[in-house]
Structure formats: structure tokens, C-alpha cells
Amino acid sequence: MISLDIQDLPLKSKKNKMRYSKRGHVYKTSDVVKYERDLEDAVLEQWKGPPIEGPVQVDVTIQVPDKRIRDLHNLADSLMDTLEGKLFVNDSQIVELRMKKVFGKSWRLILTCRSAQDHSSDTTGLTTMLFPR
């Protein structure tokens, strides 16, 4: 299991941050590149092990310092793309993602990433309800 607690690093969404060159190439703006580098550095300070292979469960709590509108799913996309190759090999491995946004005095990211060894077990019965045999 990997547990991270990163403080005072503002999270950013990549939405509307990608640009197109005159020749049609897509590139990231400099603030997105800096954000990704800063987040990578913060992660690698706390986690020095190899990425988890196989199915992964991720729990994320993002504390934001104000009540400005921030879409949680856009923050998730940007965050998971940046964590790819560090905590897990590829974000397609994520079989369960739980996120929560809370309000506080400063930015804070609390993240737990664990192997989902027995992903086939369905504790809620939701799979059985949606896909009866």
C-alpha cells in the first residue's frame, strides 16, 4: 500500500490547458508542465518503490483553500495522468477510484493506492444487481 500526504501544492486541471500549434500539434502549457513536475517531485519524495502492477484501488482526498468552482473529475484526470508510472504502471489499472473534495485553509492531497488483489469480489452486490446471471 502506498500512502501520500502532499501539502501546499495547488492541484490543476488540464482542461483548457492544452494548446494547438499552427501545424496542428497538441502541447501542454508551461504551467501544466511545471505542475506535473512539482507533483512528480512531491510524490517521489514520499514514494521510492516501484509502481504497483495489476488492478489498483485509489482513494483521494483533495483539500482546497477556497470555495471556487473546481470539477473533481477534471482534477482526477490530471492527477492520475501525472501519477502514472510512479504509483501504478498505467491509469487503466485503476478499478476503483474514490475521491472527495473538502474545504480547508490550504491545499492538501491525501492519497492511498493499493493493489486490488481480489477485485472479483463484489461487496455491494451491485454487479450482481446490474448483471444478473
Give the number of domains in the chain: 1
Burial of 29 (0-12, 13-18, 19+ CB in 10 A): middle
* Residues 114-124, mean pLDDT to the nearest whole number: 67
Give the Cα separation of 34 and 91 in Å (integer). Answer: 21
CATH number at residue 116: 3.30.1330.70
Question: Is it the case that residue 15 has pLDDT exceeding 70?
Answer: no
* Residues 115-132, mean pLDDT to the nearest whole number: 60
Which distant-in-sequence residues (6+ apart) come within 8 Å of 120 by Cβ?
none
Give the Cα separation of 57 and 117 in Å (integer). Answer: 9
User: What pLDDT, on a 0 to 100 scale, did the predictor assign at position 104?
Assistant: 95
Question: Is it the case that residue 24 has pLDDT exceeding 90?
Answer: no
Q: Dihedral sign for Cα 102, 77, 71, 28, please.
A: positive
* pLDDT tens column, 28-57: 788 888 988 999 999 999 999 999 999 999
Q: Which domain holds residue 14?
A: 2-130
pLDDT band at 123 (very low <50, low <70, confident <90, very high): low
User: What pLDDT, on a 0 to 100 scale, did the predictor assign at position 93?
Assistant: 95
Model-level pTM?
0.78
Q: Please, are residues 84 and 50 in contact by the beta-carbon 8 Å criterion?
A: no
Average pLDDT, the chain: 86
pLDDT band at 74 (very low <50, low <70, confident <90, very high): confident
